[in-house]
């Protein structure tokens, strides 16, 4: 820390992203990217001609992208805000809907960025532990008076919170905003988007980083009532009005319009996930039930840390959190079938080697 750092910044709790090696030496199963390239329509949209227009600012209203997202979800553009990845949207939402007199609650085992955001905005957070089996029980949130954030499916567990429970949460206190982070919903979760028509206190956040193969494009979106979206825009225009660059605006619109490609990618990931779960269980791993593009698994023969390090030595990167409750688990992204076969082969060899 320099001597110039503000006391506010010294209290931050920055998020640690998964390793992003800049060479291609690893089989990279650590940050839940898609194993597939973006849709061919994305490649067409990001043309030389469009690159030549980079001297001009991007559209701050994200008109074309918002309209494409709205159309895909049978909503109006006023119900959509797009952002520089869903991390940015979450930051806008934390700023907009939490603060003095409005604390925030989320699970103990969930997306680490929520804690970073709470610290950034000086929020009072309430951490509500998942149940013993890592399930999220909505009962535990019903009486919480502030904003609730739920990743559904959750990360890093991949487990889902059933919709009837979320409905109860929305109904119990209509003056409380419930933010449902659906980063992984396209891989088999049940989306809350259909509930938007009924509840004006619901904000759904999604990303194009996973199911639409645009992690490097940084495009996420929020869906909600026109009023909630206007609140998010208030924060956006106080922070970064041109939040999405020209190329990502085009890439995002093309990706969301290519429904066939999206469906095919999601199906392939789900099939490879089933194969991987079966293969891990055959090796004796405990695998949590996942509806995401990753699995959360542990072996009772080698510790999470040992497995993580030895897989890395063999050129396979997975995510190990080294935190209480989940120290022995690895979060393994579902890559291509070939990558998963390499993972299983390496895991089998490591278990055979033993300690
Ligand atoms: C639960 C969850 N929400 C949001 C994000 C952020 O995704 P992005 O900023 O790439 O849209 C992630 C990223 O891994 C995530 O795991």
pLDDT digits (tens, 9 = 90+) for 71-107: 999 999 999 999 999 999 999 999 999 999 999 999 9
Non-local (6+) Cβ contacts of 14 within 8 A are 116
Q: What is the pTM of this model?
A: 0.97
Q: In the prediction, which pLDDT does 210 show?
A: 98
How many A from CA of 331 to the centre of ligand 1? 14
What is the rounded distance in angstroms from the CA atom of residue 167 to the CA atom of residue 176? 13
Q: In the prediction, which pLDDT does 21 show?
A: 83
What is the rounded distance in angstroms from the CA atom of residue 93 to the CA atom of residue 275? 37
| pLDDT over 90 (residue 121) | yes
How many A from CA of 282 to the centre of ligand 1? 30
Write out pLDDT tens, residues 270-279: 999 999 999 9
CATH number of 7-36+260-350: 3.90.1150.10
CATH number of 40-258: 3.40.640.10
Band of residue 25 on the pLDDT scale cut at 50, 70, 90: confident
| Ligand 1, CB cutoff 6 Å, lining residues | 32, 85-87, 111, 151, 155, 181, 183, 207, 209, 215, 220
How many A from CA of 88 to the centre of ligand 1? 10
In the chain, what are the domain boundaries?
7-36+260-350, 40-258
| pLDDT over 80 (residue 205) | yes
Which residue's CA is the nearest one to ligand 1's atom 12? 183
Which residue's CA is the nearest one to ligand 1's atom 7? 86
CB 192 within 8 A of CB 160: no
Q: What is the number of the ligand 1 atom nearest to the C-alpha of 86?
A: 11
Burial code of 170-179, b = ≥16 C-beta within 10 A, e = fewer?
beebeebbbb
How many A from CA of 5 to the centre of ligand 1? 28
How many A from CA of 33 to the centre of ligand 1? 10
């Amino acid at each position: 820390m320099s001597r110039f750092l503000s006391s506010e910044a010294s209290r931050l709790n920055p998020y640690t992203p998964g390793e992003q090696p800049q060479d291609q030496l690893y089989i990279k199963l650590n940050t839940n990217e898609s194993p597939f390239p973006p849709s061919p329509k994305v490649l067409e949209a990001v043309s030389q001609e469009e690159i030549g227009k980079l001297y001009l600012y991007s559209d701050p209203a994200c008109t074309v992208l918002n309209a494409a997202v709205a159309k895909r979800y049978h909503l109006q553009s006023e119900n959509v805000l797009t952002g520089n990845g869903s991390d940015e949207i979450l930051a806008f939402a934390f700023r907009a809907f939490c603060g003095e007199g409005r604390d925030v609650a989320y699970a103990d085992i969930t997306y680490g960025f929520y804690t970073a955001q709470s610290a950034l905005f000086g929020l009072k957070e309430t951490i509500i532990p998942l149940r013993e089996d890592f399930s999220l029980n909505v009962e535990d949130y019903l009486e919480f008076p502030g904003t609730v954030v739920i990743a559904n499916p959750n990360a890093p567990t991949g487990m889902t919170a059933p919709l009837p429970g979320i409905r109860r949460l929305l109904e119990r206190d209509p003056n409380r905003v419930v933010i449902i982070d659906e980063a992984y919903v396209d891989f088999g979760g049940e989306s809350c988007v259909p509930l938007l028509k009924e509840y004006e206190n619901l904000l759904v956040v999604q990303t194009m980083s996973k199911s639409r193969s645009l992690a490097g494009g940084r495009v996420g979106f929020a869906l909600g009532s026109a009023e909630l979206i206007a609140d998010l825009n208030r924060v956006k225009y106080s922070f970064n009005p041109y939040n999405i660059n020209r190329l990502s605006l085009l890439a995002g619109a093309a990706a969301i319009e290519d429904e066939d490609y999206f469906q095919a990618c999601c199906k392939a990931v789900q099939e490879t996930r089933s194969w991987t779960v079966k293969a891990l269980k055959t090796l004796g791993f405990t695998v949590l039930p996942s509806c995401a593009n990753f699995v959360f698994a542990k072996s009772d023969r080698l510790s999470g840390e040992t497995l993580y390090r030895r897989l890395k030595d063999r050129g396979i990167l997975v995510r190990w959190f080294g935190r209480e409750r989940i120290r022995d688990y690895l979060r393994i992204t579902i890559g291509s079938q070939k990558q998963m076969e390499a993972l299983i082969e390496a895991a089998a060899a490591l278990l055979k080697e033993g300690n």
